[in-house]
Structure 1
């Protein structure tokens, strides 16, 4: 009980000291404020970017392989002339893989056509049209808000039905329930069977903005847009383990080479792309940003830490006489040590809180499709770093104060 009372008294002394020297307190915490702001701002930006990109990648699937003409490369050595000569994947190859793949959960054929005019009476807009096969909802996120998904029969007979995005519903059917209603895509009538939940445009915009998208059966898409050069993306869904996905990739590669009649020493004339590769490449950028945040913030915190240490030495010098009186009245060494250590930690925490507050205010700034969010983890990190800086900056001045001889301290002027 006595220990708790003395500890609280030490905390009260520290608070009174900081209040009595407002200007000095403010100047000394600026370094910590700038440092914590730099670190937490970078962490908040990186976390927000990563979350946004993961949301984008959810629309191209998880544990999936894309069989395409062009590879997803992330270096400067992009030999486009070699890839340009490759044949496009075809619907026949999709059927071939569907019939023979043993390690796949789902195989999907799909293609896109952007800025296609859709109309309903006087209402019109430019939409993204995506033709796909039945298992598309197994490889990608299709959140249905109203209506339903495609049936096998609708896909097989290429019926003119569609699942529309939220912006399409709002612009083409204002103040109406679009389910069961007709509108024109590229001059042909389509019936709305479903409406997707509003998602919003992502920072990567992978697969296009789902809010302006019309999903239709692949057969209906091919009749409208594949009269000249039919080509598709083939997407293969694997199982949850990385080992299973590697086996599936080998199986897809073998079947595609067999289908295209390639010799053993010939290079693949197709690409097998994985969304995880894109995520890993982007993670490298995040790592650089994180290190940069620690370096920039670290220098500021270092300066702030020296500032707090300097202020604490001055504070010990100013209160030497009071320390002597306290010790002569029976105050233990740890009481004096806690008194100055609490002051340093409190000073650093105030600076850290100010930096976190600035980051919180930063989250209100509109950055297009990027929504900044200050997470609890980053707040705890900021307060934790501030506390550590307070301890490191105040421990030596606090220890020196606790070791003062009471007789000599009382005589100090």
Structure 2
């Protein structure tokens, strides 16, 4: 109970100091408010941007390895041997079937070919600039295909290269404005496809131009090959391999894929890889590094304001100790321990700092109400706790020296002070 009463009494003293010197207190806490506002607003915007970018790039998938000709990240600057990459052979069906039958660390293997800028037609309606992908039978085990109506392709449809198609929500809305997309016919390059599935609406992403399911469509790999030429000079397929959840960092899968690809392509030990193994984590790591730098900038910007605010709170506490020296002497003469006096002023300092930090967090929450188009700014509980935690630390650091001085005052001298 004594500690509870101590906290309540400290809050009462802090509130009295705030009311008695309102302008001085507000000016002193302004630094903490601005500092917490700067740090938490930067972290909130960074988190929101990172989340939106990751959602916009969800087409890359999670725990997926891509086997293709070119790496996503080049090392070596301008000395990149482009001619070597251009001469690499593309993935083919034989390699796909070999990996599908021999990989032990994979949940699924798929082969995909893509072609953008397509025009789909249904009766008098048409839509251009669409992405068409030819996929193998286990593509839905590797990548997410969020079907709202209908179903994914059957094994017979894929192996028989039948003209069936799964379309995005925006495609269905434009070609079938009155509904009835499921079972309807769509013409692509003169060939008629039957709609067997419609995907869920994804909505606009943060960046225009990135692939989205709303303007996307899937057909069996063989049906895609009937419309577009493949091979070295045509559209080159990509192998997608999904790793198991227990394979941390997909290291085991990556080593296995490299070994299998070297085997199936007959590469000798001294020959370098003639394929690239890309992981979705590459983009995630690049995004994380970029936003880490922005986060450091936020700490630096807010740190100066918090430093000024800390000195302001320390100034308030020194003045408070001087104004209440007589009261401290009386409390000590009545048997108050040093820790009681120390905690009294320390709690007061923390309370004042929390007020400044709370106002800063409140200002950040007001920013989240401002519409930002496709970017949703969300103040997470983690950032709120971070702001309050920094406020507590600043309160302790600012109040510890005044509190120690107050706790070590001589009661006789303190009582005689005016």
The TM-score with structure 1 as length reference comes to 0.88
Distance in 2 between residues matched to 1:2 and 1:203, nearest whole Å: 55
Which residue pairs with 1:143 in the alignment? Answer: 146
Equivalent residue for 1:359, pick from 360, 364, 374: 364
Task: Give ranges in structure 1 of 5+ residues lacking alignment.
Answer: none
Whole-angstrom CA distance in 2 between matches of 1:305 and 1:225: 67
Please list, as runs of the form range in 1=range in 2, the aligned pairs for 1:8-407 lying within 5 A after superposition: 8-56=8-56, 58-73=58-73, 75=75, 77=77, 78-126=80-128, 127-203=130-206, 208-226=211-229, 229-242=234-247, 245-324=250-329, 333-367=338-372, 369-407=374-412
Deviation of 1:54 after TM superposition, in Å, equals 4.3
- The 1-side partners of 2:155 and 2:208 are apart by 29
Provide the C-alpha distance between the structure 2 equivalents of 1:212 and 1:295, rounded to a whole number of angstroms.
Answer: 42
Give the SS at the match of 1:249.
Answer: helix
Alpha-carbon distance, 1:65 to partner = 1.9
Distance of 1:42 and 1:300 partners within structure 2 = 14
CA drift at 1:361: 2.6
Q: Which moved more, 1:379-388 or 1:333-342?
A: 333-342
Deviation of the 1:134 alpha carbon: 1.3
Q: Which moved more, 1:72-81 or 1:268-277?
A: 72-81
Work out whether residues 120 and 126 of structure 2, in 8 Å CA contact, stay in contact via their aligned partners in 1: yes
8 Å Cα contact 1:103/1:244 also seen in 2: no
- Taking the aligned partners of 2:112 and 2:96, their CA distance within structure 1 comes to 10
Q: Which residue of 1 aligns with 2:417?
A: 412
> Would you say the 8 A contact 1:58–1:141 is kept in 2?
no
Paired with 2:5 and 2:249, the residues of 1 have a C-alpha distance of 62
Q: 2:240 aligns to what SS in structure 1?
A: strand
Higher mean C-alpha displacement, 17-26 vs 97-106: 97-106
Measured at CA, do residues 346 and 3 of structure 1 come closer, stay the same or move farther in structure 2, by a change above 3 Å? Answer: closer
Unaligned runs of 5+ in 2: none
Cα-Cα RMSD: 2.9
Secondary structure of residue in 1 paired with 2:112: strand
1:90, 1:83 → 2: CA distance? 17
The C-alpha deviation readout for 1:171-210, integer Å capped at 9, x for no partner, is 3323524222223334433222222222234457897112
- TM-score using structure 2 length: 0.87
SS in 2 for 1:354: helix
Give 1:226 deviation, angstroms.
2.2
